[in-house]
Amino acid sequence: MKRRLLQEVYLLGYGGWRMPRVLRRMAAGTQWHRAWLCGFLGCFTQQDGRNGTPLTHPQRLRRLRAQ
């Protein structure tokens, strides 16, 4: 149940919902805030390993190819 709720919070962040500053300050340091922030920043896990933001944005891909 708790995991499902944290996933919903993650998806809110991933969907671009900006948490109001007052709510962010109240939630700071909690699993709820971390789930929202990871979703908002686009963090994900794959094969039991934590990854950063996905490199699907065209400008990021161009920068990687230029290196």
Distance between CA atoms of 24 and 14, rounded to whole angstroms? 16
- The pLDDT value recorded for residue 1 is 82
- The pLDDT value recorded for residue 15 is 87
Kindly give the interhelix angle for 2-14 and 31-41, rounded to the nearest 10 degrees. 40
9-66 pLDDT, tens digit per residue, is 989 988 888 989 999 899 999 999 999 988 888 887 766 666 665 555 566 556 666 6
Residue 32's H or E segment, with its range, is helix 31-41
- The pLDDT value recorded for residue 5 is 92
Model confidence at 3: pLDDT above 60 = yes
